[in-house]
Amino acid sequence: MTDTQMAQQQRPIAAEQHIISLGRVLQSLREEDNIDVLIETTIAFVKEQFDYRLIWVALYDRLNHVLVGKGGIIPNQERTLLEQHLVLSPGDLLEQVVIEQRPVGVADLRSETRIEPWQEVAKKVGIQGTIILPIRYRDRCLGILMMGSERWGYLLPGDARARLLMVLGELAAALYKYEVHWQQQNQQRIEEPLLKLLAQLQAQSSCLSRLEDAVRATHDFVTPTSTHIYWFDRNERYFVRRASSSSLTNSRLRERKGLDKITVEELSDFYYALAINETVAIGEGRSSLKSQYTAKLMERLQVRSLLAAPIFWQKDLLGFLMVESQEARIWKEGERNFVQGVAGLISLVAPLENIEATVREVQLDSQLTSEIAQGIYSDRDFANVMGKCATKTLERFAATRFILLQLDIEQNAYQIIYQSQPANRRPLTVTLEGLREVDWQLLQRSESAIGIESLEEDLRFFNWRNPLVAEGMRSQMITNCQPGESPHIILLVDCDSNRAWSIRDKDLLHRIGQQLHVVVRQWQLNNYNQQQQKIMAAFKASLRTLEQAQINALEQTNHNLEIVSLQQIAAISGCPLAVLISWTPGERYGEIIPGVNTDKRFAVKTEVTIPLRAEILVQWALAAEGLLIAKIDDIPEDTKRWLYGKEIGQVLIMALRTNPDYEPTGVVIMADRVDRRWSESTIQASEMLINQLAWSRRQKQVTQILLAAREDLQQLNWYKHRRFQELHRQSSYIINQLSELTTTNKELNSLRCHQLLRQLDTITSNIKDVLEDETWQLHIHQQKAPITSLLKRSLERVDNLLKQNRLWVGVHGLGGTGEPEGEQNYSPSFQSSLFVLGDIHKIEFILHELIVSACQRSTGSGRIDIWCRRLDERAIADSRPASLEVSITDNGVIESHLLMELHQETLSDVLAPSSLNQPPGLNLSICRHLIQKMGGELHFYQLPDGRVVSRLLLPLAIA
């Protein structure tokens, strides 16, 4: 047989040896009950199958978090190291294996600092590659196996790893089986002592005797240093000791000074754990409380370990049963269960002591709720009902304050709608801010009142703590008056000292709150009706104001209408800031019209122009159908440059649009704080007023356009009429001249005809200019002409009128100017070279109109004076070109109401009859508006001596 054939036969034989050895070990582990033999079998298997110089097996003590060495192999034969107890700590490699229950490999144990006890051993004996494997069963770590070799690295072949894991799994199953059997053998049975104690409690007649029996039974079962029962005084918030093992046995336990009474403040977290029905266990290295509170509690009670179970009755803490030890003790599960069972038995028998008082209190509570209900339905006066209810409630709970709160949705704050307190305490004036979300949900879901024993310690309703503590409050009960719904109505009962509230107290206040909800609901309905009446009154006042403002603003260019409307909108919405971005359809920029700003912290720049396409608020408003609310955080920085108030948290915007097909003319912007809320009625009222403003602005703009068109057409008609009158006069004159020439010298006639034809051509050109250039609109031309020529032509046109009425006309202030009639006056300082600037034809017609009006007012043989004066001083003061004053005075009679209307800038009522709707008032009004368009002025007034003055100011042309 060849060597190759022999090797092929030997390999199966070696594999069979591993399987046979594995099967033998597994069978031994299944059949053996002794732990030491199990561990020795495992160590022998590892030594036989694997080449490792260091083998260590340790079992895990869960209670103490310790690895207990059970043996192994070590090169220098130091067996003490194999049986050592290693306390595990965070960061240790061994703890990592125990916690994660996964194998860990170490390439060189000598340099691994996370396994410090074995690092020194590795350095001495030269151990490098090491593998640490957990001995686990059903996700429960029972121990570890550590194997180390002199080679570097920790690789383990696949088949060897499988065999090793099978052995460790069988070992873990055997260890788990042994542990369960041991626990069953050593577990204390609590059924018999509890049944015995129950029989004793039934036989006793007094509560103190029952408590003493409970203490004795607990002390005998747990065998602590001492056992106590403490009773809770709810009003004073302290625990008093009612029974103790030391008083029963007169034992060697010393009486600890100051522990007969323990306050809640001293117990701290210990008390709060008991209050939520939790058992508190503090032992060696373990505590159900935080470390800082554990140390203080142990120091106060002068013990090293304790076990306490709360005594409850109907969710109220009556007290607690506590066992103490002067040694660092780990409390077993049976001991915990027994203490909890005894505390439960005490909770069943303890209320029997005060059962008559409890029944009496229940009857009084029922009577109280009945009296409150009768008061609600028999008295409709809110103050009387609340007064009776508050008095009875405060007496029942021995409380200090009775406070009823209502949520103001717009302000997001709770307002006090009723409160009652003793005469020696002042009423509260604080406004409590809106609840946090967690407190809101707590009140909405709670089926009873919420009791707070100490405002300074409890985190619930935290944002109310400071204002209430500042008013001297220390504890309170809070209930939602409409259970299951949003807490819009809240009832508070407060005390000025810390106290605990029983379940019966909470349930009673909850029922009282439900009854008061009926009263508050009726009161709310009445307030709502009053609010609606107030809104209607505001609408009526707003309509009257808008009507008046519209009447006054129809012929004005200011923003009275918008400002008044913004004031009304701000009054209804309650916003401290309201402005309007206004523009005319077709414009690219808008102006800011300030309306209301009652708080300097809500600032806005009104002198800037707003680019309509780039401004986000304008675009948002144009895209929305109604009133839109935007948060300040959503507004870009470009907008905040002009809307920059530091208190601005929300912005309400709405476009002024009367119809989807009409062009908008502005956007109303209102600002308020970030926590402000508006009711639906307020939003609707604001939208209605904004829509009304939009219609008013549209009507105003349309009216102004129509009035401007009417004014322009009136002026155009007057001007054309006067121009064609003059052209007709000139044409008639020329035609007469041509007629006369037909009978005179032919040579002279030819020359004269040519002159007259040229004049007719000029007249025809003037007619053409008027017909072509001023068909539907006046055009103001900038021309200059001497004032003497204008006056001369104007006087020539009225010559026949002057002769018919035998009137005298005098021109004063123009040196060298001939006067048609009467004496001539000369002014040595002014020459006839004064040129006026403007549309000469229109100025000439205005002078003519003024002279004609003076002639028509004057009686026969009257006097008309025309005074001309250059105004240089006024031009210097006003920083504008010099002007010429032409004053026409006459002794005629003018109607007082016509003079008054000519003096006014606008009409008080455009629909009322007026002297300015027909000549001569219409003609004079047109003249005044025309001269204003040319930069001049025209005024009418009466002198004290009765003379009528038409004062005309014309710009002078620069020579």
pLDDT score recorded for residue 2:
44
pLDDT score recorded for residue 250:
44
| Angle made by CA atoms 804, 808, 810, in degrees to the nearest 5 | 140
pLDDT score recorded for residue 248:
44
DSSP 8-state class, residue 946: S
| Residue 800 in tokens | 């026949």
Residues 114 and 106: beta-carbon distance below 8 Å? no
951 falls in which pLDDT band (50, 70, 90)? very high
5 falls in which pLDDT band (50, 70, 90)? very low
Residues 792-826: pLDDT tens digits?
888 888 888 888 888 999 999 876 433 433 333 33
Residues 54 and 75: beta-carbon distance below 8 Å? yes
- CA 193, CA 721: separation in Å to the nearest integer? 128
Interval 877-888 mean pLDDT: 77
| Residue 426 in tokens | 């002042």
Residues 396 and 477: beta-carbon distance below 8 Å? no
138-177 as b/e: b if 16+ CB within 10 A: eeebbbbbbbbbeeeebebeeeeeebbeebbebbbbbbbe
Name the most confidently modeled range: 194-198, 509-513, 734-738.
509-513
Closest Cα partner for 275 from 316, 233, 239? Answer: 316
- CA 689, CA 656: separation in Å to the nearest integer? 10
Q: Is the pLDDT of residue 557 over 50?
A: no
pLDDT score recorded for residue 358:
59
Q: Is the pLDDT of residue 247 over 70?
A: no
Q: Is the pLDDT of residue 387 over 50?
A: yes
Closest Cα partner for 616 from 624, 608, 626? Answer: 624
864-874 as b/e: b if 16+ CB within 10 A: bbbbbebeeee
Residues 404 and 382: beta-carbon distance below 8 Å? no
Q: Is the pLDDT of residue 940 over 90?
A: yes
- CA 434, CA 463: separation in Å to the nearest integer? 9
Closest Cα partner for 512 from 476, 483, 474? Answer: 483
SS3 at position 164: helix
pLDDT score recorded for residue 380:
59
- The mean-pLDDT minimum among 43-47, 371-375, 530-534, 850-854 falls in 371-375
91: left (phi over 0), alpha (psi -120 to 50) or beta: left
Rounded to the nearest integer, the mean pLDDT of the chain is: 80
The radius of gyration of the chain's CA atoms, rounded to the nearest angstrom, is 55
> 3-state SS of 822-873?
CCCCCCCCCCCCCEEEECHHHHHHHHHHHHHHHHHHCCCCCEEEEEEEEEHH
Residues 704-756: pLDDT tens digits?
777 777 777 777 777 777 777 777 677 777 777 766 665 565 665 677 777 77
Burial of 67 (0-12, 13-18, 19+ CB in 10 A): buried
Name the most confidently modeled range: 111-115, 228-232, 885-889, 918-922.
885-889
556 falls in which pLDDT band (50, 70, 90)? very low
**Bridging pattern class, strands 650-655 and 666-672:** antiparallel
- CA 486, CA 628: separation in Å to the nearest integer? 25
* Amino acid (one-letter) located at 759: Q
806 CB-near residues (< 8 Å, 6+ apart) = 860, 861
Helix count and strand count (H, E) for the chain: 29, 32
309 falls in which pLDDT band (50, 70, 90)? very high
Residues 51-92: pLDDT tens digits?
888 889 999 887 778 888 888 888 875 677 788 888 888 778
Interval 288-304 mean pLDDT: 76
- CA 460, CA 479: separation in Å to the nearest integer? 13
pLDDT score recorded for residue 889:
94
pLDDT score recorded for residue 877:
52
- CA 294, CA 276: separation in Å to the nearest integer? 18
Q: Which residue matches tokens 């057409």? A: 713
Q: Is the pLDDT of residue 185 over 60?
A: no
SS3 at position 949: strand
Residues 438-449: pLDDT tens digits?
999 898 888 888
Q: Is the pLDDT of residue 553 over 60?
A: no
Instruction: State the sign of the Cα–Cα–Cα–Cα dihedral 770, 773, 774, 779.
Output: negative
**Residue predicted with more confidence, 910 or 466:** 466
Q: Is the pLDDT of residue 376 over 80?
A: no
- CA 265, CA 293: separation in Å to the nearest integer? 11
- CA 430, CA 471: separation in Å to the nearest integer? 9
758 falls in which pLDDT band (50, 70, 90)? confident
Q: Is the pLDDT of residue 589 over 70?
A: yes
